[in-house]
Amino acid sequence: MYTIITPKKILVSLLFVCSPLLKAQDSFEQQINTLLAKMTLEEKVGQMNQYNGFYDATGPAPQGGNAAQKYEHLKKGWVGSMLNVRGVEEVRKIQELVVKESRLGIPMIFGFDVIHGYKTQSPIPLAEAASWDLEAIQKSASIAANEASAVGLNWAFAPMIDISRDARWGRVMEGAGEDPYLGAKVAEARINGFQGDDLSAPNTIAACAKHFVAYGFSEAGREYNTTDIGTNTLFNIALPPFEAAVAADVKTVMNGFNVLNGIPVTGSSYLQRDILKDKWGFEGYVISDWSSIGELVPHGHAENLKQAAEFGAKAGSDMDMESKAYITHLAENVREGKVDEGLVDDAVRRILRVKFELGLFEDPYLYCNEEREKERLFHEDHMQGALEMAKKSMVLLKNDGNLLPLKKDQKGIVVIGDLADDKNSPLGSWRLASDDNTAVSVVEGLQTYTNAFKFVQGPKVFDDDASFLQHVIINTTDSSGMEEAVAAAKMAEVVIMVVGEHGFMSGEARSRTKIDLPGLQHDLLKAVYAVNKNIIMVLMNGRPLTINWEAEYIPTILEAWQLGSQSGNAVAQVLFGDYNPSGKLPMTFPRSVGQVPIYYNHFSTGRAEKEPNVFWSHYADEENSPLYPFGFGLSYSKFRYSDFNLDSSDATQIKVSVKVTNSSTVEGEEVVQLYVNDPYASIVRPVKELKGFKKISLEGGASQTVSFTLTDRELGFYNSKHEWVVEPGKFNVMVGTNSQEGLSGSFERQ
């Protein structure tokens, strides 16, 4: 039998002796052995086969298979899992079919894209990351797990933890932005939220860290495109959130569609076996992305589907999502000696282990409770949780002249914009289970405060029938409604303009070459600005946008992303000052798409300083700096940083502290950020790297000393041999309010 022995496993086996919990684990392993011994090769391969439900919600329609064949395979025990089957009735039906009719009755695991909620939608993940509030993010994932588990699901294809520096890539909405440190922390919070303390409880589900790995580096931001990054970026930027996910005991990992440095990640034994399973000791299983094993053929890696099955299995892709490569060809590959049966056993062992841990062997219907299903969907507690998360996710980008917060009795408000009364778009992308038009719109949110405002839509921007499967149709020519909007704005004391992207303009397969305001929105803003400068711009979007003109002229900009079910209520609370915005950007806003990829933790060039001639690193037509940097976000409070202190007397525990004072009269929250720079190293290090943050709350006039400890964990990096090292020498440290502003000092480490 093929078993990989890792140091972690040896430790775990030693611990079995003394812990009852580990005894349960041990008994799982024994039961798995017993089961494996009974399984035919076809049954083993069946566990590695995942079918889609009987419709094509998230990918090209299944090829070469039909519902009848799938039913036959289910009955034979040739399907280990299904995706997109949900609802207690449906799940129970299929579980019963498998458990009662198949020879060994091994229960199925049911997966679904629970990306930011099931029915109740939280903000899109990028927005949640902007809260820098790990407790809130964890709670949001636990709410999602609570609802999803109530409809029979026990596995979420989330969190997506791909780092991305390219706002053209539509999937940035699904991740935590550009930074590996923040990304790792958010990954951990989400995994803990989904999986809870007890995976066998009926309200917790297995998480899935995806897409392993470097999928966020797709060239030119085009979906499904090639990725080509050096090992420094791989080890120090792309892999760390996954390493953190494994340390947080994530049960499953999904690979990606991308070719990385010439090898499709789905077929990479180096990534999936050497790093993920051997080096990190990951004991769960790897699911392929939709048909990514089959796609080894069009990638030009495997000659045909049979060889794709061989390569996928050898590379450690344990479960095949819908490409049918395994179910059609894996047994044959084993019989022909092309794939060692030990590898199949290893994959099956991993899959069965997660099923045991979920409690499915004890009760295959654990997640099938009609009462819970009725009770949990759109539960009041979940809606309340979504509201809290939405408030924390907004980022105040500009508030010149303090137009915000509005007074409760503010008169003469005019609200303009196609998105202002939209109840669908704020649900964002990747919300497969949500009911259309169930978000609270901004207009509805404002109505909970006052009816003393006028709403004028302005030119229609987005097609009302926009869907997850097609590109959103955008009006770029018909300006009807413009005049009415301008006329209303002329009479207003203050204009709230809700502009941005439609919720289905980001997400999978939603790459853009231009990342400005779509349609006539920019023209509308300019026309309104010509008659009334008191504009509050509420921005709804799933990615950073190039809004240079707006950033220069519009006095107030609130980044509201797509905030989910409670969108309008959250926006209204911020506009009227019942919630003081506290979010910070998890991703840089470029000035121009030509700057992309743009990110704060870049290297210095040999020609970073401005020269009197042209021979330094810059553009002829744009500044190097971003429009808004990583970590940026304002508040209705004002925070002052002072008393930077650095104590390096203990080289293993460097203490850094600052005093933060709320110099305003308004209570508020601040995310205090710690950045480190290693100025000379064997591998060039970034100009700065986030290595700590704390979100604090301060009453008006109050101060707090915020402390951080720097250990080898924060000071080290993966060197050219991919070893974690801390090199002696100078380190610079900055603590501040964003990645560009703060107090700094330095120390020497021997």
| 701-740: contacts with ligand NOJ (CB under 6 A) | none
Q: Which is nearer to ligand NOJ, 39 or 124 (CB)?
A: 124
Q: Cβ–Cβ contacts within 10 Å for residue 57, how many?
A: 13
Work out how close the CB of 381 gets to ligand NOJ at its nearest, in angstroms, rounded to a whole number. Answer: 27
CB proximity list for 353: less than 8 A, separation 6 or greater: 28, 29, 32, 283, 284, 285
Q: Which is nearer to ligand NOJ, 113 or 178 (CB)?
A: 113
Long-range contacts from 474-483, C-beta under 8 angstroms, 24+ separation: 474/502, 474/518, 474/519, 475/519, 475/520, 476/519, 476/520, 479/520, 479/523, 481/456, 481/457, 482/458, 482/520, 482/523, 482/524, 482/527
Q: What b/e sequence results for 711-729 when a residue is b if at least 16 CB atoms lie within 10 Å of its CB, and e otherwise? A: eeebbebbbeeeeeebbee
Q: Which is nearer to ligand NOJ, 49 or 58 (CB)?
A: 58
Which residue of 90, 113, 310, 320 would you call a contact of ligand NOJ, by CB under 6 A?
113
Q: How many helices (H) and strands (E) does the chain have?
A: 22, 25
- Residue 591 is a binding residue for ligand NOJ (CB under 6 A): no
Q: Which is nearer to ligand NOJ, 53 or 519 (CB)?
A: 53
Q: Which is nearer to ligand NOJ, 289 or 501 (CB)?
A: 289
Mask of contacts with ligand NOJ, 80-109, x by CB under 6 A? ---x--------------------------
Work out how close the CB of 293 gets to ligand NOJ at its nearest, in angstroms, rounded to a whole number. Answer: 13
Q: Which is nearer to ligand NOJ, 83 or 214 (CB)?
A: 83
Pick from 260, 261, 255, 332: nearest CA to 294: 255
- Residue 285 is a binding residue for ligand NOJ (CB under 6 A): no
- Residue 243 is a binding residue for ligand NOJ (CB under 6 A): no
Q: Which is nearer to ligand NOJ, 257 or 449 (CB)?
A: 257
**Chain-centroid distance, C-alpha 257:** 17
| 202-221: contacts with ligand NOJ (CB under 6 A) | 210
Q: Which is nearer to ligand NOJ, 128 or 508 (CB)?
A: 508
- Distance CA(340)–CA(2), nearest Å, equals 9
| 48-77: contacts with ligand NOJ (CB under 6 A) | 58-59
Q: Which is nearer to ligand NOJ, 59 or 716 (CB)?
A: 59
Residue 251 · residue 195 · CB < 8 Å: yes
Q: Which helix (H) or strand (E) holds 714?
A: helix 712-715
Q: Counting every residue, how long is the chain?
A: 750
Residue 342 · residue 1 · CB < 8 Å: yes
Which residue of 43, 133, 162, 289 would you call a contact of ligand NOJ, by CB under 6 A?
289
The DSSP symbol for 471 reads: P
Sheet containing strand 654-662, strands side by side = 639-647, 654-662, 703-710
Our answer to whether residue 289 is catalytic in this structure is yes
Work out how close the CB of 289 gets to ligand NOJ at its nearest, in angstroms, rounded to a whole number. Answer: 5
| 455-514: contacts with ligand NOJ (CB under 6 A) | 508
Work out how close the CB of 658 gets to ligand NOJ at its nearest, in angstroms, rounded to a whole number. Answer: 40
Q: Which residues pair with 183 in a beta bridge?
A: none
- Distance CA(705)–CA(683), nearest Å, equals 34
Q: Which residues pair with 210 in a beta bridge?
A: 160, 254
Work out how close the CB of 477 gets to ligand NOJ at its nearest, in angstroms, rounded to a whole number. Answer: 34
Work out how close the CB of 57 gets to ligand NOJ at its nearest, in angstroms, rounded to a whole number. Answer: 7
Work out how close the CB of 718 gets to ligand NOJ at its nearest, in angstroms, rounded to a whole number. Answer: 26
- Name the packing angle between helices 20-38 and 341-357 (round to 10°): 130
Residue 86 · residue 153 · CB < 8 Å: yes
- Residue 190 is a binding residue for ligand NOJ (CB under 6 A): no
| 386-405: contacts with ligand NOJ (CB under 6 A) | none
**Does the N-terminal peptide bond of residue 405 adopt cis geometry, omega within 30 degrees of 0?**
yes
Work out how close the CB of 252 gets to ligand NOJ at its nearest, in angstroms, rounded to a whole number. Answer: 11
Q: Which helix (H) or strand (E) holds 748?
A: strand 742-749
Work out how close the CB of 96 gets to ligand NOJ at its nearest, in angstroms, rounded to a whole number. Answer: 24
Q: Which is nearer to ligand NOJ, 83 or 494 (CB)?
A: 83
CA separation (Å) from 462 to 209, 363, 422, 489, 500?
A: 33, 47, 10, 22, 10
- Distance CA(473)–CA(436), nearest Å, equals 17
Pick from 441, 398, 448: nearest CA to 563: 441
Q: Which is nearer to ligand NOJ, 236 or 429 (CB)?
A: 429
- Residue 689 is a binding residue for ligand NOJ (CB under 6 A): no
**Does the N-terminal peptide bond of residue 264 adopt cis geometry, omega within 30 degrees of 0?**
no
Which residue of 290, 453, 675, 708 would you call a contact of ligand NOJ, by CB under 6 A?
290
Work out how close the CB of 208 gets to ligand NOJ at its nearest, in angstroms, rounded to a whole number. Answer: 8
Q: Which is nearer to ligand NOJ, 210 or 423 (CB)?
A: 210
Task: Kindly write down the DSSP assignment for every residue of 355-418, as one continuous string.
Answer: HHHTTTTT-TTTT--HHHHHHHTT-HHHHHHHHHHHHHH-EEEEEGGG--SPPTT---EEEE-T
Instruction: Kindly state the number of chain residues that form the binding site for ligand NOJ, as judged by CB under 6 A.
Output: 9
Mask of contacts with ligand NOJ, 137-166, x by CB under 6 A? --------------------x---------
Query: Tokens 């999502």 correspond to what residue?
Result: 321
Query: Tokens 């009006």 correspond to what residue?
Result: 475
Task: Kindly write down the DSSP assignment for every residue of 70-100, as one continuous string.
Answer: HHHHHHHT--SEEES--SHHHHHHHHHHHHH
- Distance CA(255)–CA(214), nearest Å, equals 10
- Tell me, letter by letter, the H, E, C secondary structure of 241-267: HHHHHHHCCCCEEEECCCEECCEEHHH
Of the residues 113, 166, 179, 289, only one is catalytic, namely 289
Q: Which helix (H) or strand (E) holds 190?
A: helix 180-195
Q: Is 149 helix (H, G, I), strand (E, B) or coil?
A: helix
- Residue 291 is a binding residue for ligand NOJ (CB under 6 A): no
Work out how close the CB of 83 gets to ligand NOJ at its nearest, in angstroms, rounded to a whole number. Answer: 6
Sign of CA dihedral 78, 84, 90, 92: positive
- Residue 295 is a binding residue for ligand NOJ (CB under 6 A): no
Work out how close the CB of 470 gets to ligand NOJ at its nearest, in angstroms, rounded to a whole number. Answer: 16
The DSSP symbol for 425 reads: G
Structure tokens belonging to residue 729: 């020498």
Work out how close the CB of 469 gets to ligand NOJ at its nearest, in angstroms, rounded to a whole number. Answer: 12
Q: Which is nearer to ligand NOJ, 169 or 636 (CB)?
A: 169
Q: Which residues bind ligand NOJ (CB under 6 A)?
A: 58-59, 83, 113, 157, 210, 289-290, 508
Catalytic residues: 289
